[in-house]
Amino acid sequence: MSDDALLPEPDRLDGAPHPRETARLFGQADAEAAFLSAYTSGRLPHGWLLTGPAGTGKASFAWRAARFLLATPRDEGDGLFGAPPPPASLDIDPAHPVAARLRALSEPGLCLIRRGPRPDGKALSDVIRVDEVRRLKGFFALSAGGNGRRVVIVDNADEMNPSAANALLKELEEPPKDAVLFLISHRPSGLLPTIRSRCRTLRFQPLGADDLQAALAQAGLAAPDNAAGLAELAGGSVGEAVRLISHDGLGLYAELLTLLQGLPRLDRPLALKLAEATVGKTGEARFDLTLSLLDTALARLARTGATGAAPPDILPGEGRTLARLAPDPRAARAWAQLAATLTARARRGKAVNLDPAALTFDMFLDLDRTAAELAAA
């Protein structure tokens, strides 16, 4: 087995099936309807930019649409009994040969562009390099088999380096006949304007609690008893919900809320316990989750102060704590500024390998300091 085969798939979320293995898409009926409308019109755009928050089904849609395009026979006009009815959905029988080949990554009509291994083969690259995109030239040079269509999935386009982005732009400018490219992007504003202008945009929305539960069940995961709180904390993202379930995110958020409830008198033993949990064998994932949930808490504080109303509770009593710590727009500005400061500090700290426990504890001290300053004003 090659070293490359031992590397994780860069577009697979730990604890969940790969998007190519997802049979159904939940909560994105509008996006699917828009794509089907373009398909049945006979004027299907060659470039599609799939945007929206991470974990809302963009990659699952791309694979679902790829199955549909590669498995659906071409419309050759009216047959003996007239034109066939337009498709009502993108559903394809999981036993269809195209579906099986896509799951095995052996379908010749599809080219997947994603981060590849570094030159030494020991780890994944941090970016999609130009060599990955240049594979499209060979892909498009081959004779199209099957129904003549070819599909490209770029997951995700935000990770392309400048050379890769320019190479992809050339393919979008002169796409081969019957080629469709799906570009997945969580931050489309960071893409080249010329790439955006050559694609039709499909916007994916955060999922509601019911759709989120259904998507988790499809992934083989059981939602916790506090399903509504999970949906609120995950921001309607299936991917984030999977991460929260895998790492007890609701439990960690409960401990962070306990810290907030004690401000401006910081519970130092609890703060130290949470900080020390960011080191060790599972420390990196815990550190990342702590930073993410702390940022969420600060954003909810800022929102409460700015709007005068707390968002729906993730946990019982959260709204009262948010309203006490952020009673007005002045407090909202203070919490928003602290969020920006801590985000920048975390980025710098990770870049120079600072001790995550010390970094985390310092952030908790800043929480306490900000709460004390607001209380004294």
* pLDDT for res 223: 80
Q: Give the distance, in angstroms, between the CA of residue 284 and the centroid of all CA atoms in the same chain.
A: 19
pLDDT tens for the chain, residues 1 to 377: 344 556 789 888 888 889 999 989 999 999 999 999 999 999 999 999 999 999 999 999 999 999 999 999 887 555 555 566 788 899 999 999 999 999 999 999 999 999 999 988 888 999 999 999 999 999 999 887 788 899 999 999 999 999 999 999 999 999 899 999 999 999 999 999 999 999 999 999 999 989 999 999 999 988 888 889 999 999 999 999 999 999 999 999 999 999 999 999 999 999 999 999 999 888 889 999 999 999 999 999 999 999 999 999 999 999 999 999 999 999 999 999 999 999 999 999 998 989 999 999 999 999 999 999 999 98
Q: Report the C-alpha gap between 175 and 188 in whole angstroms.
A: 21
154 vs 142: CA distance, rounded Å = 19
Phi-psi region of 113 (alpha: psi -120 to 50; beta: other; left: phi over 0): beta
Q: What is the C-alpha separation between 292 and 252, in angstroms, rounded? A: 11
Q: Checking DSSP bridges between strand 150-155 and strand 200-203, what pairing results, if any?
A: unpaired
Q: Return d(Cα 347, Cα 370) in angstroms, integer.
A: 21
Packing angle, helices 249-262 and 238-246, rounded to 10: 80
Residue owning tokens 């001290």? 365
Report the C-alpha gap between 306 and 65 in whole angstroms. 41
* 366-375 burial code (b ≥16 CB/10 A, e <16): ebbebbeebe
Q: What is the pLDDT of residue 16?
A: 85
Instruction: Provide the β-strand partners of residue 179.
Output: 150
The domain defined by 3-203 carries CATH number 3.30.70.600: no
Q: Are 278 and 287 in contact (CB under 8 A)?
A: yes
DSSP string for 115-181: --B-TTSSSB-SSB-HHHHHHHHHHHHSPP-TTS-EEEEEETGGGB-HHHHHHHHHHHHSPPTTEEE
pLDDT at 18 (0 to 100)? 93
Give the contacts of 184 (CB within 8 A, at least 6 positions apart). 50, 58, 59, 62, 153, 154, 155, 156, 157
pLDDT score for 2 = 42
